[in-house]
């Protein structure tokens, strides 16, 4: 087993999750990289990381809608790396659910990926994090505080994740710190993604007049994991100043 700290991160095959895994790996972490369906990009990322440092990354498939798979993800990570130092709950579903069109399936998917899975994975990892005096970092959203039109269920779920962050910070203290990172406009939508509002409208509301990068979120998470021993129960907005205004 390695003496390096271990990061378990969900939804890490692409985009923000992949960038976060890369930055933590660059800073000496071994990576337990979770994916659900994106096996090919997960394998490519793991290959790249293992070429940099042998045996430093392992991929784990899990359906986070299933409690038994959530618990297995925690135990498999410990079996492979011997410990968990940091858990990042990054996996998330995001799409509009306009009133009149929302279904129970939409509800179950959005609540499960954004609130239920992070809670039960945090619960499964808590005993291991207690041993390492580790931390949990939840990827929240500025829309947990400021509603986004036609995204009621998503906003509700992220608001629940925000409160979970604060509640677990109390319950798991003093040995486990729990914080959140709340992204604003970080990545342009994927091609064909109709979920995000018009980017011109968004940019007009950002004091720094630009979207952020995935590295802005990843580096904030790294700070919370490695250089913030007296910060817990906090959610840091990384949004170019957007939430400072109306």
Active site residue ranges: 154
Q: How far apart, in whole angstroms, are the C-alpha atoms of residue 136 and residue 88? A: 6
Backbone angles phi, psi at 189, to 5 degrees: -60, 150
Residue 146's H or E segment, with its range, is: none
CA separation (Å) from 218 to 31, 156, 238, 245? 14, 24, 10, 24
Q: How far is CA 228 from the centre of its chain?
A: 18
- CA dihedral for 171, 92, 54, 77, sign (positive or negative): positive
Q: How far is CA 8 from the centre of its chain?
A: 10
- CA dihedral for 188, 193, 198, 202, sign (positive or negative): negative
Q: How far apart, in whole angstroms, are the C-alpha atoms of residue 149 and residue 135? A: 33
The length of the chain, given as a count of residues: 246
Cis amide bond preceding 174, omega within 30: yes
State whether residue 131 is helix, strand or coil: helix
């Amino acid at each position: 087993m390695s003496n390096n700290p271990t990061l378990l991160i969900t939804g890490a095959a692409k985009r923000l999750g992949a960038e976060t895994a890369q930055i933590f790996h660059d800073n000496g972490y071994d990576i337990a990289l979770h994916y659900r369906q994106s096996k090919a990009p997960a394998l490519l990322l793991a290959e790249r990381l293992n070429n940099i440092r042998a045996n430093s990354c392992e991929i784990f498939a899990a359906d986070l809608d299933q409690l038994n798979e959530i618990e297995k993800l925690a135990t498999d990570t410990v079996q492979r790396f011997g410990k968990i130092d940091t858990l990042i709950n990054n996996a998330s579903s995001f799409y509009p659910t306009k009133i009149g069109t929302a279904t129970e399936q939409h509800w179950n998917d959005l609540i499960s990926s954004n609130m239920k899975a992070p809670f039960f994975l945090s619960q499964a990892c808590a005993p291991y994090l207690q041993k390492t005096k580790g931390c949990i970092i939840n990827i929240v959203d500025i829309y947990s505080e400021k509603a986004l039109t036609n995204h009621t269920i998503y906003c509700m779920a992220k608001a629940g994740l925000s409160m979970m962050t604060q509640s677990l910070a109390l319950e798991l203290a003093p040995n486990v710190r729990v914080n959140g990172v709340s992204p604003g406009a970080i990545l342009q939508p994927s091609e064909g993604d109709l979920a995000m509002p018009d980017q011109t409208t968004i940019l007009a509301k950002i004091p720094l007049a630009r979207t952020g990068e995935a590295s802005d979120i990843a580096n904030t998470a790294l700070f919370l994991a490695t250089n913030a021993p007296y910060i817990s129960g906090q959610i840091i907005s990384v949004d170019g100043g957007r939430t400072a205004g109306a």
